[in-house]
Amino acid sequence: MAIGRPISLTPNIASKTLSATATAGQTSFTVEGGYRVNELGVYRNGVRLAQGKDFTASDGSTVTLLSGATVSDILDFVIFDSFNIADAINTVGDQTLSGQLTASSGFSIGITSAGTLINQDGGAVSGITSMNFVGTGNTFSYNSSTNTIDVSISGSGGGGGIGTAIKYSDETTDSPFSYIEPSAIVEENLDLTTTNAGVTSTYVVSVVPTIQVISGVAVTVGSGKTMVIDVLQLGGR
């Protein structure tokens, strides 16, 4: 058993011991793998030595005895370090993960709706596991300087929800006006059924005055569906 005041450790500190056999008068010892300054215990023949009085250890790699060792003295170096579990997620600092991260109870990522937080403690909604944006014209814009994502949904905001909103000079705020293209092209087959156009009898409409279906492409209007082109009757203006 080592002689001297024992070293007390906090729960997250681990230690390892390295030993060396001294030669006559040896004072300098290299600690394999190094150590953290002021986190090292040194014992000679089982007796703990006092730093600054019996030895110095200030460069993270060598220990110097202030008086030479006797041949065959056993020097034990107890090295202390933080105890970390491999691949554990840290609570502080950056973390890199490889693969998909899944949380069964959802993520609290600070989702806002019209400036109101909806996915934090005390918010209107909690435990959101996914976000689904429905409709055409949805776009995402990532701002790297603020680490935020803006979602633009066509047809919302300016112009009463018709067409594409015209923004003010700040290029962010919607004005009360919008614009509609005079024509649009259908470039692939489209079946308008209860799967994608409502489960009941519905009207399938377009505010664009002219719809062109390219050669070889078919638009099929299913049972219970009524198609209305130029629903605003802009074509005659």
Domain boundaries, the chain: 13-82, 132-179, 183-229
pLDDT confidence of 23, banded at 50, 70, 90? very high
Say what the pTM is: 0.36
pLDDT confidence of 22, banded at 50, 70, 90? very high
For residue 153, the model assigns a pLDDT of 61
Average pLDDT over residues 138-166: 67
For residue 47, the model assigns a pLDDT of 93
Token output for 146: 């603020």
Average pLDDT over residues 32-42: 89
Alpha-carbon Rg for the chain in angstroms: 36
pLDDT in tens, 101-112: 777 766 656 666
pLDDT of 94 strictly over 50 = yes
pLDDT in tens, 192-206: 998 888 888 999 999
CA distances from 171 to 6, 159, 175, 176, 199 (A): 68, 15, 10, 14, 38
pLDDT of 123 strictly over 50 = no
Token output for 106: 């959802």
Which pairs from 43-52 meet CB under 8 Å and 24+ separation? Answer: 43/2, 43/4, 43/75, 43/76, 43/78, 44/69, 44/73, 44/74, 44/75, 44/76, 45/73, 45/74, 46/1, 46/2, 46/3, 46/74, 46/76, 47/2, 47/3, 47/4, 48/2, 48/3, 48/4, 48/5
For residue 127, the model assigns a pLDDT of 53
More confident residue, 34 or 82: 34
